[in-house]
Amino acid sequence: MDQLRPAPLSDPESHPVGSRNGFTAHMRRIATSGLVRLADIITPPLCLACHSPLGTHDSLCPACWIRIDFIRPPLCDRLGIPLPFDAGAATLSAQAIAAPPVYGRARAVARYDGVMRDLVHDLKFHDRHDAVRLFGRWLAETGRDLIADADLMVPVPLHRLKLLRRRFNQAAVLTAELSRITATPAAPLALIRTR
């Protein structure tokens, strides 16, 4: 005679609402959405730059978004600076040819001015970590080709005195977020600053 045993709980979402496991999963979704709504009432989503109300967290309002000067192709393959026209793959700028840097390739999300400068300063000097997720998404998109070639991400360490003043290393925080998004391993303690 066959014995009865409970079905495995590998995927509670696959159970119909009428079953016990399906009911539990359904109630969990309701509770989670209720908690999210409650959290949005207590801390409503605001623009990371101007703090105007938004529909989602970790974002910018349209007025602040258009004030960011994103760096887009065509780019110098080495410096990542904009080029006036697309001359084909792996084009170097005059600056990269005249004074080659010690690194292979670099990329930047946007020009460091206006809203972008304010967001970076808020992270670095005012302990505002609320833009880290947004920065991580931008960095993952902008550095997609570089990250695809990377075996490991290593943030540049801060000098001890700067670390004491700031209480955290913003490069390490951004590297952790980028590592989470891209699944590229990170080694935040691989380098030691000696000066």
Question: With 70 as the cut, is the pLDDT of residue 25 above it?
Answer: yes
Residue 147 CB coordination number (10 Å) = 19
pTM of the model: 0.76
Question: With 70 as the cut, is the pLDDT of residue 10 above it?
Answer: no
Is residue 179 in some structural domain?
A: yes
CA–CA separation, 193 and 195 (whole Å): 6
pLDDT of residue 34: 64
Task: List CB contacts of 81: < 8 A, sequence separation 6 or more.
Answer: 71, 75, 93, 95
* Over residues 90-119, mean pLDDT: 96
Is residue 32 in some structural domain?
A: yes
Residue that has been written with the tokens 């070639």 in this structure: 149
**What is the 3-state secondary structure of the chain?**
CCCCCCCCCCCHHHCCCCCHHHHHHHHHHHHHHHHHHHHHHHCCCECCCCCCECCCCCCCCHHHHCCCCECCCCECCCCCCECCCCCCCCCCCHHHHHCCCCCCCCCCCECCCHHHHHHHHHHHHHCCHHHHHHHHHHHHHHCHHHHHCCCCECCCCCCHHHHHHHCCCHHHHHHHHHHHHHCCCECCCCCCCCC
Domain range spanning residue 28? 12-43
**Which carries the bigger pLDDT value, residue 10 or residue 23?**
23
**Which carries the bigger pLDDT value, residue 128 or residue 38?**
128
Question: With 70 as the cut, is the pLDDT of residue 5 above it?
Answer: no
State how many domains the chain has: 2
Is residue 35 in some structural domain?
A: yes
- Residues 116, 189, single domain; the answer is yes
CA–CA separation, 125 and 112 (whole Å): 15
Band the pLDDT of 122: cuts 50, 70, 90.
Answer: very high
- Residues 189, 115, single domain; the answer is yes
Is residue 192 in some structural domain?
A: yes
- Residues 111, 191, single domain; the answer is yes
Band the pLDDT of 7: cuts 50, 70, 90.
Answer: very low
Is residue 89 in some structural domain?
A: no
Is residue 48 in some structural domain?
A: no
pLDDT of residue 147: 96
Is residue 71 in some structural domain?
A: no
Is residue 88 in some structural domain?
A: no
Residue that has been written with the tokens 């075996």 in this structure: 151
As to burial, measured by CB atoms within 10 angstroms (0-12 exposed, 13-18 middle, 19+ buried), residue 158 is: middle
